[in-house]
Structure formats: C-alpha cells, structure tokens
C-alpha cells in the first residue's frame, strides 16, 4: 500500500498445532487470518455475489446504510467460527480512539468475512472435522496488532501528523499452542508506489501497445508473502475433487496492483492507484494466464480437458452430487486512491466481479460465498472527471482481481505468476 493511504498495516496471523501422530503435517491444523487496520475512516462499499457467505457487519457496506466509512477489514478462515477473532481488531482500534464517535467512545466498524477451511482429507459428511480444531481468538488478533504497532514505531492516534506520511507495514505473526508469538516476520518488499507514475498518458488515437499495457501492473510481494499465508493458509480450489483431475490445488492469498497517470493541478501529473487483495477458496477452477505465455499449450491440453466446467457439463448428476463440496468462497478487497463515494464504490464492486469470473470457472455458484469490498483512500481528486474515474478504476480493479486470484494459486502451487 502507498504512503498516505490511511492504512496502518496489513497483518497475516496463523496459529499452528501439531497432531500427535502427524507432527510433520502442520497444514491440517492451521487457522489463519489477514486483516487491514486503518489510521482513519475509509469510504467503503461491498457486494455479495455468492450464495453461502460467512460475514459479520457486512450489511454496513450496502447502499442505503448510514455508515459510509470503515476503520478496518478482516478476512479469515474457519467459517463462522473464525468471525469472533475480529473482536481483537475492534479492541485495538477502540484503544487508539479510531471509530465512529459516540457518547460511549469510539465504535470501530470493521466488517469481517471468512472462508470455509475446516475440511481435511479425513473429513466428509459422515466424518466431520474434530471439535478441537484451532481457531484464532480476539486475543490473538489484538496481540498481532500490538506487535504491528511496535514495529511501526509509533503509538499516535487518529489525527496525528504521521498518519499520512508513514508507509504501511506488512506483518506475519505465527502463533504456537502456548499462545506466544513463535515467529514474527516483516516484509521489506514495498516500493515507492504513489510517488512517480511509470507510464505517460496516451491519446486514444495513438492506439494500444501490449508492452505499455503490461507495464501498468506494479510488482507484487515475493512468493513467500503470497499463497498459503494468513487467511489463505488452508484455502483450496476445485470443489469437485474428482480423482485424476488436472488439479486439486491449494488456494491462497493473492495480490495485484496497477497505476496510471491522472491530470493534476496546473498541468501537473498525479498517479491513480488500484490494489486488489484476494483470498481464493473457490468451487471452480482457477484459470491461469495464457495470453501468449509458455503455459498456453499445456493449458489447452490438460486444464480445459479436465475442467470443473466440463465435468459439470458431461458427468452424471448423481456422481456430481456425491463430489460437490459446499464449502467455498473467494474474498476480494479493492483499494483505490481516487475520491469516490459509496454509490460509485458499490458499482466498482460489480465491475471487479468480472475479473473474478475471468479467473474462476464457474464463479458465484450456490456453494460459494464470493464477495467484493471496494474502498477509497481519497487522496486523488478527480477534478470533475468522476464518471470516467469510476469506469477506469472499475476496469483496473477487474484486471487486478483476475491477476490476484491467479497469483494466489500460482504461489501456493509453485506455478509461475500471472504476467
């Protein structure tokens, strides 16, 4: 995230636990979450596209509600059991005085959404997951927030001069059974986004250049900060799970970002920024980038041949019913620095969904809880160009959503990332 975005930090938290007979297989017993803490309220809207969500306070993101800004955003695992963990983020923000001002003090608004990641190789409708699976607690999340605050090197509350100048940090906190942090990592991979645009404005008459279009995508973090991390640590793809299918891959956490120039004051140039974060745990297959890439031949030969879409088209319905796993969700968050109101952000959620549908086939099924949250950090004035700014942001967000989903699965399954 860029300087001045209002984001204090992005934190990935994981709690691992060993099973006595399977000490080498930690992934079966890992609970994860990924969340954003803001230094100031950010305009936000959300839209649900799937039919099986697990959410908390998501209604405030709908058009027509009084609350237009939020103070944090929480994505996690463990389905409805994971939603309680957002209480740690709420407590942390309230302690900092960040929230809706009331007679009872600051009331933070931090919507939460979780994926279903309780199943394992041993679970089925006849063999449910154990009752003692690890779940992140509010105390775990608050502890991670305090660690992030310590690494930020500041305890300033809302309104301090450093809020718009410090660069948000990216943190990973891995907890053990003893409730202590056993591993703290800080990502040092952030670049200078938001300072100088990396491409010139183009006239419509100049045509389109593939290389210039590609250059608008900015670098993403290294693979160790994508894929099986945080909320995506136990995510999966491909809900039919048919033996011999082209993939039974892990899902995960993905990111993508774009920028372009924007006219500023007195012929100066500003930068329009869009970043997308995704937790991929989908029923459908994630379709890798094949536009001229080295995977095009293998994609046609294997992945289309054994795709979920084809199985749905050709397989026996009774067999399909026996294999469908109704525990899927893709969560997407879109950030832009353009000044946009809640109504525009709601429409951007809709445009972003087209990127999800390009990357996942099929998407938005009755067994998915897919949703999109769009947020405006509000640094870039559109100067009377609100309509075209909304369209541009929506288009960029859709492209970034497609890439973020592809990058999540690529990192988790050691595939090359989307270009």
Q: pLDDT by residue (tens digit) across 85-136?
A: 999 999 999 999 999 999 999 999 999 999 999 875 444 555 555 566 889 9
pLDDT tens across 220-251, in order?
A: 888 889 999 999 999 998 877 554 444 557 89
Q: pTM of the prediction?
A: 0.87
Quote the CA–CA distance of 125 and 325 in Å, as a whole number: 10
Question: Which are the contacts of 361, defined by CB distance < 8 A and separation ≥ 6?
Answer: 284, 285, 287, 307, 308, 309
pLDDT tens across 65-88, in order?
A: 999 999 999 999 999 999 999 999
Rounded average pLDDT over 339-358: 98
Tell me the CA distances in angstroms from 205 to 201, 202, 208, 209, 229, one per residue in order. 12, 8, 9, 12, 44
H or E element, residue 9: strand 7-16
Count of alpha carbons within 13 angstroms of residue 381, beta-carbon side: 5
Q: Is the pLDDT of residue 37 over 70?
A: yes
How many domains would you assign to the chain? Answer: 1
Q: Evaluate whether 79 touches 116 at the Cβ level (below 8 Å).
A: yes
CATH code where residue 266 lies: 3.60.70.12
SS3 119: coil
Quote the CA–CA distance of 355 and 253 in Å, as a whole number: 16
* In-domain check, residue 419: no
* In-domain check, residue 339: yes
Residues 318, 321, 324, CA angle at the centre, nearest 5°?
150
* In-domain check, residue 1: no
Rounded average pLDDT over 386-414: 95
Quote the CA–CA distance of 160 and 288 in Å, as a whole number: 44
Greater confidence (140 vs 289) lies with 140
* In-domain check, residue 418: no
Q: Residue 34 belongs to what domain range?
A: 7-412
* In-domain check, residue 399: yes
* In-domain check, residue 310: yes
* In-domain check, residue 258: yes
Tell me the CA distances in angstroms from 176 to 59, 135, 273, 372, one per residue in order. 34, 12, 37, 32
Question: Which are the contacts of 294, defined by CB distance < 8 A and separation ≥ 6?
Answer: 416
* In-domain check, residue 352: yes
H or E element, residue 342: helix 342-359
């Amino acid at each position: 995230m860029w300087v001045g975005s209002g984001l204090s930090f992005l934190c990935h938290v994981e709690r691992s636990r060993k099973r006595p007979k399977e000490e080498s297989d930690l992934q079966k017993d890992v609970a994860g979450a990924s969340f954003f803490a803001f230094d100031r309220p950010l305009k936000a809207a959300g839209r649900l596209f799937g039919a099986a969500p697990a959410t908390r306070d998501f209604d405030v993101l709908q058009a027509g509600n009084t609350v237009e800004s939020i103070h944090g955003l929480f994505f996690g695992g463990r389905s409805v059991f994971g939603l309680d963990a957002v209480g740690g983020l709420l407590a942390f923000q309230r302690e900092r005085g960040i929230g809706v001002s009331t007679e009872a003090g600051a009331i933070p608004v931090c919507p939460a959404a979780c994926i279903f990641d309780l199943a394992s190789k041993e679970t089925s409708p006849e063999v449910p997951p154990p009752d003692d699976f690890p779940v992140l607690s509010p105390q775990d999340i608050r502890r991670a927030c305090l660690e992030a605050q310590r690494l930020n090197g500041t305890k300033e509350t809302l309104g301090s001069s450093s809020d718009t100048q410090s660069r948000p940090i990216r943190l990973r906190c891995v907890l053990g059974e003893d409730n202590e942090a056993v591993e703290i990592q800080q990502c040092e991979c952030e670049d200078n986004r938001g300072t100088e645009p990396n491409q010139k404005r183009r006239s419509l008459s100049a045509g389109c250049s593939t290389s210039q279009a590609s250059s608008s995508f900015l670098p993403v973090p290294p693979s160790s900060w994508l894929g099986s991390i945080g909320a995506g640590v136990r995510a999966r793809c491909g809900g039919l799970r048919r033996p011999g299918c082209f993939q039974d891959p892990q899902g995960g956490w993905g990111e993508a970002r774009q920028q372009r120039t924007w006219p500023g004051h007195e012929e100066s140039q500003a930068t329009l920024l869009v970043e997308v974060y995704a937790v991929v745990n989908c029923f459908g297959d994630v379709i890798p980038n094949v536009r001229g890439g080295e995977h095009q031949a293998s994609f046609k030969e294997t992945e289309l041949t054994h795709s979920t879409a084809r199985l749905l088209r050709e397989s026996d319905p009774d067999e399909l019913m026996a294999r469908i796993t109704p525990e899927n969700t893709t969560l997407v968050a879109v950030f832009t620095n353009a000044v946009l109101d809640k109504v525009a952000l709601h429409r951007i959620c809709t445009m972003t969904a087209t990127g999800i549908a390009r990357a996942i086939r099929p998407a938005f099924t009755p067994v998915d809880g897919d949703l999109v949250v769009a947020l405006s950090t509000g640094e870039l004035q559109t100067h009377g160009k609100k309509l075209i700014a909304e369209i541009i942001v929506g288009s960029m967000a859709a492209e970034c959503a497609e890439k973020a989903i592809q990058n999540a699965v690529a990192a988790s399954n050691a595939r090359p990332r989307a270009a």
